[in-house]
Amino acid sequence: MILPTEVLNRYDMVVKSLLPPVFEAYKHQTDQKFEEIFDEAVYKMGGYYFAVFQALFSKDNDAMRPMIASFLSVKDPMLRSRKLISLYEEMHGIIDKKMYYVHKTAEEFKERSKTQMLEHAYQKVLEDNKKSDKTKYQEKLDAVKDMPESVRKVVQEEINGLDSKNDMDTSRKTNYLNQVFRMPWDHRVDPFWDVHYSKTVLEKSHFGMSETKERILEFIAKNKRINSQKGMVLLLTGPPGVGKTSIAKSIGECLKRPTTIISMGG
Query: Which of 13-27, 29-43, 245-259 ranks highest by mean pLDDT?
Result: 245-259
Q: How far out from the chain centre does Cα 114 lie?
A: 11
State how far the Cα of 236 lies from the Cα of 195, in Å rounded to an integer. 19
Alpha-carbon span 107 to 144, nearest angstrom: 55
* Averaged pLDDT for residues 41-48: 75
Confidence (pLDDT) at 197: 92
Region 169-197: mean pLDDT is 82
Rounded alpha-carbon distances, angstroms, from residue 265 to 2, 172, 175, 176, 182: 55, 11, 11, 11, 17
Report which secondary-structure segment, H or E, holds 222. Answer: helix 210-226
Domain locations along the chain? 4-104, 144-188, 195-254
The pLDDT score that the predictor gives to residue 44 is 76
**pLDDT (tens digit per residue) in 200-213:** 998 988 888 888 88
**Residue 90's pLDDT is what?**
76
Class of domain 195-254: alpha beta
10 Å CB burial of residue 98 (0-12, 13-18, 19+) is: middle
**Residue 193's CB: how many other CB atoms inside 10 A?**
19
CA distance 248 to 258: 11
In this predicted structure, the answer to whether residue 64 has a pLDDT above a threshold of 60 is yes
Q: What's the rounded Cα separation, in Å, for the pair 64 and 68? A: 6
Spatial distance between the Cα atoms of 105 and 55, rounded to a whole number of angstroms: 24
Residues 6 or more apart in contact with residue 145 via CB below 8 angstroms: 185, 186
Cβ-count burial of 196 within 10 angstroms (0-12 exposed, 13-18 middle, 19+ buried)?
A: exposed
Residues 6+ apart with CB under 8 A from 120: none
